[in-house]
Amino acid sequence: MGNSCFGKRRRSDSSYGHGNQPNINSMGGDSAGQTWNHVPGYSNLYSDRPQNGIVMVRGSQMFTCDMNHIWNMSVESLILWTLKEIRRLVDSNQDPPLSIIRLNEIGESESGWVKVVQGMISTIPLDDPLGPAVIALLLDECPLPTVETVEKLYDILKPSSALAEEALQYPAKHRNFTCILGCVAGILAGSKSVELLNEDVLEYLLTLLDPRFAREVILFALVALEKFSQTGENKVTICKTSIHQKLLELEKFRDSHETKFREVGFCAQWCLDNILPLEGRTLTYERLSMEQCNVILNDNDVSEYLKISADGLEARSDALSFESVRSTFCVDEGTWYYEVQVLTDGVMQIGWATKQSKFLNHEGVGIGDDEFSFSYDGCRQLYWYSATSRPHDHPQWKPGDIIGFLIDLEKKEMVFSHNGVAFPPVNDVFQSVSSGFFAAASFMSFQQCRFNFGMTPFKFPPKVPFKKFNDYAFLPPEKKVILPRFKKMTVLSSLSISESSCSICCDTEANTKLVPCHHSGLCMECAMQIEQCPLCRVKIKERVSLIPTNPVTDQGDTG
């Protein structure tokens, strides 16, 4: 599990209610509490916690530092400490850094929350690859703020179009503030998010959507507006502004050679295609020619918050969860190669996964976190297999770097390369699976990369003979479409479901009767999965198929 500290817990479990730690012991058995059961480190941590606020954590060398020291550190030092420690969190059994627990505790009071947020705004440097992810994590850890608390923050910072100008001089501060606004808009979606998007905040964010500002600032202002738009009322307000004009301008950076601008271009285009469509604008997927493209990222095999570009070859996450995707094509024999250009330098786990590999985005489980997948992480410089990691010697990746993925299914080995420099083969995953490998990747918050399955020339083709996905794969034209989300929802709601279908799955015809209760209305497949009648709870003794066992169809038989 690569990301014990990132996105593994759902916000709702950790952060509700000021001043109250969830008491695991008294909640045992509750349905919502089950999420905690997946997080051994956390539950131990909290149940070991005595009332006086001193945390006892066992067995991890990371926490051998003087606790008094942590408890006396300033908010700013705690944030910098977290930034440093988070990179070292590489094991699912590790507990979160003490600094996070301390910050969480400070953030329990209203004034404390404001202090933590102010601390993040002033301290997190622009160039730390994990900066924004740490902001998202800490906000997720702290109790949910009330509208009044966030307004206190507004009173201090006074967001407005005038304040936006300051971003020319202090890009880090404003990148951090916009990132925080986006996270808060996301976690307080609904009526609270409407209250938070006042005129001044809207003006502040809109002003920042301008190429004269640092791209990090533009990017996070854009993400914040997108998150505010998740609430319908805000979307209406935002659409009445100059947003579309600005997005159309920023969309032009989609093909920029500078990776930083490509992120902005990607988000602007994705927003126009998926969240804030503009009347009269042709959706990107409608104007793309996909003729040469035979492999894309699979829009039906992806966790729910990942953003996939209209051409199906680029993906990005702006969610708090650990988002994953597989390609449409898989390989069973021979030697194959694909490349990925990383566009951000934070945590992604990219590699190979079979269909059995599970995406548990809310629990931080992705590629390399089970025995059916293996991944490369160029940020923390790790290989991942079966949720355990081991270091590799590749240099840390930088935006624009090309990572090569070679798999030899005869020799049963994988070779990873960084800008053409290949490293010794690895073979761990072949212990459990030997075929059916898809290209696959998992993304931490605010990460993005682009896949090349061989439609365009590789930057660093390996020296051994290999095959390209794109030369062997086939996709019918209707499968080469990444449908915008709002369109997808429309398609879903127009699907009609037969009244005679199984009442449990609605997929197949109801064809089974339960004995002894004689209830029916379900299919055999569902009936096999349950022990009690879903209607009367009587124990099922027999499942009787209502399909005639002897399908006599003599009619038409003229012979």
Partner 1 sequence: MSSGLPRRIIKETQRLMTEPVSGISAVPDEQNARYFHVHIAGPKDSPFEGGNFKLELFLPEDYPMAAPKVRFVTKIYHPNIDKLGRICLDILKDKWSPALQIRTVLLSIQALLSAPNPDDPLANDVAEQWKMNESKAIETAREWTRVHAH
- Provide the minimum distance between the beta carbon of 5 and partner 1 in the complex, in angstroms, as a whole number: 20
Q: Find the binding residues for partner 1 in span 428-487 (CB under 8 A).
A: 485-486
**Integer CA distances (angstroms), 140 to 89, 217, 320, 496, in order:** 17, 21, 8, 39
Q: Using the minimum distance from each CB to partner 1, give the nearer residue, 158 or 539.
A: 539
Q: Using the minimum distance from each CB to partner 1, give the nearer residue, 134 or 360.
A: 360
**Chosen residue from 1, 3, 7, 22 binding partner 1 by CB under 8 A:** 22
Q: Which residues, other chains included, contact 69 with Cβ-Cβ below 8 Å and sequence gap of 6+? A: none
Residue 534 in contact with partner 1, rule: CB under 8 A: yes
**Chosen residue from 465, 497, 549, 551 binding partner 1 by CB under 8 A:** 497
Using DSSP, state whether 161 is helix, strand or coil.
helix
DSSP code at position 344: S
3-state secondary structure 69-80: HHHHCCHHHHHH
Q: Using the minimum distance from each CB to partner 1, give the nearer residue, 206 or 365.
A: 365
Locate tokens 């608390």: which residue?
Answer: 149
- Write the binding mask 237 to 276 for partner 1: x where contact by CB under 8 A, - elsewhere: --------------------------------------x-
Residue 110 in contact with partner 1, rule: CB under 8 A: no
Residue 236 in contact with partner 1, rule: CB under 8 A: no
How many helices (H) and strands (E) the chain has is answered by 21, 16
Q: Using the minimum distance from each CB to partner 1, give the nearer residue, 362 or 418.
A: 362
**Chosen residue from 56, 65, 168, 506 binding partner 1 by CB under 8 A:** 506
In whole angstroms, what is the distance from residue 216 CA to residue 181 CA? 14
**Integer CA distances (angstroms), 180 to 3, 120, 137, 183, 300, in order:** 21, 9, 11, 5, 31
Q: Using the minimum distance from each CB to partner 1, give the nearer residue, 323 or 339.
A: 323
Residue 532 in contact with partner 1, rule: CB under 8 A: yes
Task: Find the part of the chain contacting partner 1 (CB under 8 A) among 69-77, 130-138, 465-473, 530-538.
Answer: 530-538
Residue 360 in contact with partner 1, rule: CB under 8 A: yes
How many residues touch partner 1 under the rule CB under 8 A: the total is: 50
Residue 507 in contact with partner 1, rule: CB under 8 A: yes
Locate tokens 């100008």: which residue?
Answer: 165
Give strand pairing partners of 404: 339, 417
CB 39 within 8 A of CB 168: no
- Provide the minimum distance between the beta carbon of 311 and partner 1 in the complex, in angstroms, as a whole number: 18
Q: Using the minimum distance from each CB to partner 1, give the nearer residue, 159 or 366.
A: 366
Residue 13 in contact with partner 1, rule: CB under 8 A: yes
Locate tokens 């197949």: which residue?
Answer: 508
Q: Using the minimum distance from each CB to partner 1, give the nearer residue, 356 or 431.
A: 356
75-86 vs 110-123: helix crossing angle, rounded to 10: 60
Task: Find the part of the chain contacting partner 1 (CB under 8 A) among 90-98, 102-110, 183-191, 432-440.
Answer: 183-191
Q: Using the minimum distance from each CB to partner 1, give the nearer residue, 68 or 493.
A: 493
Does the N-terminal peptide bond of residue 465 adopt cis geometry, omega within 30 degrees of 0?
no
- Provide the minimum distance between the beta carbon of 62 and partner 1 in the complex, in angstroms, as a whole number: 28
In whole angstroms, what is the distance from residue 534 CA to residue 24 CA? 31
**Chosen residue from 30, 66, 291, 557 binding partner 1 by CB under 8 A:** 30
- Provide the minimum distance between the beta carbon of 387 and partner 1 in the complex, in angstroms, as a whole number: 17
Using DSSP, state whether 388 is helix, strand or coil.
strand
In whole angstroms, what is the distance from residue 397 CA to residue 513 CA? 59
Q: Using the minimum distance from each CB to partner 1, give the nearer residue, 75 or 276.
A: 276
HSE, side-chain direction, 13 A CA sphere, residue 281: 17
Residue 33 in contact with partner 1, rule: CB under 8 A: yes
**Neighbouring C-beta atoms of residue 50, cutoff 10 Å:** 8
**Neighbouring C-beta atoms of residue 534, cutoff 10 Å:** 15
Give strand pairing partners of 441: 325, 350
CB 208 within 8 A of CB 201: no
**Chosen residue from 492, 547, 549, 556 binding partner 1 by CB under 8 A:** 492
In degrees, rounded to 5, the angle at the alpha carbon of residue 319 between the alpha carbons of residues 158 and 505 is 135
Give strand pairing partners of 543: 514
Q: Find the binding residues for partner 1 in span 296-315 (CB under 8 A).
A: 299-305
**Chosen residue from 515, 529, 539, 544 binding partner 1 by CB under 8 A:** 529
| Positions that interact with partner 1 (CB under 8 A) | 12-13, 16-17, 20, 22, 26-27, 29-33, 189-191, 230, 275, 299-305, 358-361, 485-486, 488-489, 492-493, 495, 497, 501, 503-507, 526, 529-530, 532, 534-535, 537
